Structure 1
Amino acid sequence: MESDVLAFENFLGKEGVLKDDITLNTTDWTGQFKVVPQGGNTGLVGASIPVHDEVVLSLSKINNSFSFDDTMGILKCDAGFILEDLDNKLASLGYMVPFDLGAKGSCQIGGNIATCAGGIRLIRYGSLHAHLLGLTVVLPDEHGTVLHLGSDIRKDNTSLHTPHLFLGSEGQLGVITSVTMTAVPRPKSVQSAMLGGFLTSNIIKIVTCRLIYKPRRAGRNVIGNALR
């Protein structure tokens, strides 16, 4: 810390570095720090980027705790886990995260919850609303209150489902530090196909077929007819 102070004094001068009474410089008129929680910083809307003189609170190093109940398919982990790393951990257990993103190599699970991320598995497995079970959250109050919301039970009707208040909250209500959610069985094989339709009505028929028909020959014929 002292070396950092000396480094600033070298190019700002001693008069340009305040070390004693810095209250006016570190708080705003409400007496509070301005903090921007930041996960993988992969969003495209600038929500995790400081605009003025905010303090960036990175969650990148909160990535130690990981547990998985393979009987119930319930995952509990720190918010700083990178999505791809988390998915790889579950792969060895025969499961996977129920959503997938192009930024999976750098986005973090806490940020995914804070933004209610979707991705290419949404139609098959549903949104995060269907999978989130619990959260640990630090509130932006003077005490840094820690809330343990929800539980690690798939169906828990003992109280209000408060974790959903923070799902998609973009860090406005508090900082997510731990996530409890359901995982889904990993498919033994995956086949990909590119389908193109000339009209919106064609696309609707394709999606409807995907939701109703099992991937048998008859189902393929129906999809083929939808493209015509």
Structure 2
Amino acid sequence: METAGGGPMAATGGTTVAVAVRHLGSGASAGYGDAVFDTASIVKVDILAALLLRAQDAGRRLTALERTCAAAMIESSDNDAASALWRVIGGADGLDAANERFGLTETTGGDGPLWGLTRTTAADQLVLLRQVFGAPSERSELSEASRTYLQRLMGRIAPGQDWGVSAAADGPGWALKNGWLPRGTTGLWVVNSIGRVTAGGDDYLVAALSSGNPTKERGIALVEEAARAAVSACGRKA
């Protein structure tokens, strides 16, 4: 593994993958790749974080409908729920404004209703994960209640969608969100996974992003391999 910021790692067949990881205890980090990727459904974490920030600013709780949409969007990756909340936060402009406060500098919201074509990097996704899961000593724009709520939803991913960075965990201690998207122009797949895992008794934040996969299954195998390698490398540095 290289330090984050190295060139994009090209896998077989022209597939590109990037990964970033942080040890929550020591702050040690490792990563590979600085390519920019379509988010697919991992942006749903960002959408909910932006919604929670909006609600905090207004001094209100999420409405019953917003909570229903948030649960469906994160736990089951429901696209209609994501579209509804995308509109609530103001689309790309709202996402970009929230991300400026979160410290994401390489993420740009998708055009119009196309939230899944938001563009991001593994390093930026790690910044987002630190807003949600970071140690108490780390400053977050999200309140403790907002963080706990998002963490809880990410720990309840529907069966069949619980692959990805969870492969780096050595038990049930994980919380994640995955994204997968076949590109219509090429037929190749974007497959991404972000979240927190527990391995060897330590907690890690991991973002593994990939594009150009010939199948969804190959993409899953790639991001799982990247997540395991990243956690192993970061554990040696901690």
Q: Which has the larger radius of gyration?
A: 1
Greater share of residues in helix: 2
**TM-score, normalised on structure 2?**
0.27
Normalising by structure 1, we get a TM-score of 0.27
Greater relative contact order (CA < 8 Å, ≥ 6 in sequence) = 2
